[in-house]
Amino acid sequence: LQQRRGFRLSAPAAIQVTVRDALNQALDEELERDERVFLLGEEVAQYDGAYKISRGLWKKYGDKRVIDTPISEMGFTGIAVGAAMVWLRPVCEFMTFNFSMQAIDQVINSAAKTCYMSAGSIAVPIVFRGPNGASAGVAAQHSQCFAAWYGHCPGLKVVSPWSSEDAKGLLKASIRDDNPVVMLENELLYGVPFEMSEQAQSKDFIVPIGKAKVERPGTHITLVSHSRPVGHCLEAAAVLAKEGVECEVINLRTIRPMDVETVEASVVKTNHLVTVEGGWPQFGVGAEICARIMEGSAFNYLDAPAVRVTGADVPMPYAKILEDNCIPQVKDIIFAVKKTLNI
């Protein structure tokens, strides 16, 4: 009506928000929304979090809602799982997911399996979150991607955000979910700013768990990725577009349950598939995507074998030049695309 009367409506106000601040907003909004939500982990309270994700929350909500724990993942994860069993909603932070192996019995045998083993009478609404995968210069024991590990386990939901909207929306959805959710973030993305839409700035904004997003439409080949490599895929797509190759880039966002339908629809359109991930190749996320396409109707539309771009099949080296060669780079994606398209 205003447009008909000659008024010009302004476009929705989008702002730049880092992934760190998006996660902080999500935690703040959910702590405020539901008094059952609380945060615990190493240095999350008085120090504001090892990566400043929980900045300001201890001062705002106090000791009962934001809890510093000893350096004992098995202990504080067990406390969090027990609290979830009596319908509190803990957010359990691992300083990195490499340390979650200290508590993997609690995550899998206690959190993931309890709802099934109790015939649905005991839910475990808990979020396990923290940085996952390779960072920079932290060597083999701090550089693993656990997407395939946790994505393998029934009873868990596993999400892996890329952008600030992903991070905020998926964390809010995970906290509100009645199932245990593993949220695999990326340390190297924490300080990266992304555009956040007016809708995403709302306290009611969530990203549905189990729904992928087409970040860039294309017609010649499908690139499927999650977390930081989504950005590499978009960079590769921009380079290839100058050579006349239009890549469709899919941001999985959720590892389990996996949105195979979106991938299948894209493959039917493009007839080619490349998967990209930072984890190891054997039994990886890309291997699962390829198997699903192989077993489904979209296989009949493939004009070439699917190709995986993964991390190298070695423990992560410490030296930077070796580290760079162990992690998928933009040039590796471009090479895989050209190999698949035979150009």
- Annotated catalytic residue, options 142, 220, 232, 272: 142
DSSP type of residue 47: T
Whether 142 is catalytic is: yes
The SS3 assignment for 332 reads helix
Whether 73 is catalytic is: yes
**Long-range contact list for 108-117, CB < 8 A, 24+ apart?**
108/153, 108/155, 108/156, 110/78, 110/81, 111/81, 111/84, 111/155, 111/156, 111/180, 112/153, 112/154, 112/155, 112/156, 112/180, 113/155, 114/85, 114/155, 115/155, 115/179, 116/154, 116/155
What are the DSSP calls for 139-196, one per residue? -GGG----HHHHHTSTT-EEE---SHHHHHHHHHHHHH-SS-EEEEE-GGGTT-EEEE
- Annotated catalytic residue, options 73, 93, 185, 277: 73
The residues assigned a catalytic role are 73, 142
